C-alpha cells in the first residue's frame, strides 16, 4: 500500500475503453474526468493492477486519485475495489461520475447512496463493494423513450445540441468540486442543482 494521506479522494469516471466508444453517451463519465485532468495538464497512464488508466494529482489541498476503468462498463467494480483496497481509502472519499438516463442532457445531480437504476457500471460497483453509500455525480444524457432502445441509445453519440448541453453540465459540475472535496456536500448539491 502506498500512503496518500487521510484527505485523499478517489474520482472514477465510468465509460467503455477504445475509440469505438469514446464519443458515445455511455462515456460521459470519461468526458468529465478527462476534462478535469486536462485542466490540470495531467495525463493518465495504464495501471494494470487497478484495471484502468490512472493519474495522481494534488489539487485544492487534496491528494486526488483519478481512474478510468478499462474493464468495460459492466466490470467497473473490479477497478474501483482494487484501487480503494490498495490505498485503503474510506468509501466516504469515493466519487463515481456516470451517465444518467433519468436526467435530461445538461442535467447534473450529486447523490449519496441509492441503487444502480439499471446502470451496469453502478450495479457492478455495488456488487463488488457490498455497499451503495458512496457519492455519485449523475450527468444527464436523456432517455430514448423506450427501454428496448436504451442499449443502442447509450452506445451512440448525442446530437450536437445534446453534446453542448452535456459539456455545459460537465463545466458546472467541475465548478462545485472544491466543495465536494471539502466534504461540504450539501453546499455542492445546492450550487449544482440550482445552476443546472
In a domain, 146, yes or no: yes
In a domain, 89, yes or no: yes
In a domain, 1, yes or no: no
In a domain, 59, yes or no: yes
Domain encompassing residue 162: 9-195
In a domain, 78, yes or no: yes
In a domain, 2, yes or no: no
- pLDDT of the residue at 4: 55
CATH number for the domain spanning 117: value is 3.40.50.1470
Q: Counting beta carbons within 10 angstroms of the beta carbon of residue 140, is it exposed (0 to 12), middle (13 to 18) or buried (19 or more)?
A: buried
Full pLDDT tens readout for the chain, 196 residues: 445 555 699 999 999 999 999 999 999 999 999 999 999 999 999 999 999 999 999 988 889 999 999 999 999 999 999 999 999 999 999 999 999 999 999 999 999 988 888 899 999 999 999 999 999 999 999 999 888 899 999 999 999 999 999 999 999 999 999 999 988 989 999 898 886 5
Per the structure, how many domains does the chain have?
1
pTM for the full predicted model: 0.94
- The answer on whether 72 is annotated among ligand-binding residues is yes
In a domain, 73, yes or no: yes
- The answer on whether 21 is annotated among ligand-binding residues is yes
Spatial separation of the C-alpha atoms in residues 124 and 101, rounded to whole Å: 17
In a domain, 4, yes or no: no
Q: Counting beta carbons within 10 angstroms of the beta carbon of residue 120, is it exposed (0 to 12), middle (13 to 18) or buried (19 or more)?
A: middle
Catalytic residues, by residue number, are 26
Amino acid at each position: 500500500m502506498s500512503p496518500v494521506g487521510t484527505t485523499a479522494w478517489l474520482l472514477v469516471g465510468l465509460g467503455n475503453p477504445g475509440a469505438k466508444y469514446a464519443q458515445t453517451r455511455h462515456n460521459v463519465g470519461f468526458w468529465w474526468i478527462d476534462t478535469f485532468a486536462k485542466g490540470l495538464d495531467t495525463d493518465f497512464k495504464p495501471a494494470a493492477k487497478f484495471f484502468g488508466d490512472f493519474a495522481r494529482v494534488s489539487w485544492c489541498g487534496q491528494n486526488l486519485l483519478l481512474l478510468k476503468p478499462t474493464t468495460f462498463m459492466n466490470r467497473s467494480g473490479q477497478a474501483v475495489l482494487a484501487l480503494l483496497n490498495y490505498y485503503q481509502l474510506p468509501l466516504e472519499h469515493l466519487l463515481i461520475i456516470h451517465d444518467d438516463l433519468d436526467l435530461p442532457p445538461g442535467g447534473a445531480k450529486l447523490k449519496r447512496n441509492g441503487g444502480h437504476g439499471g446502470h451496469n457500471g453502478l450495479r457492478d460497483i455495488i456488487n463488488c463493494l457490498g455497499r451503495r453509500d458512496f457519492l455519485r455525480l449523475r450527468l444527464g444524457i436523456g432517455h430514448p423513450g423506450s427501454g428496448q432502445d436504451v442499449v443502442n441509445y447509450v452506445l451512440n453519440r448525442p446530437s450536437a445540441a445534446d453534446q453542448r448541453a452535456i459539456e455545459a453540465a460537465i463545466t458546472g459540475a467541475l465548478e462545485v468540486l472544491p466543495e465536494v472535496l471539502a466534504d461540504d456536500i450539501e453546499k455542492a448539491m445546492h450550487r449544482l442543482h440550482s445552476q443546472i
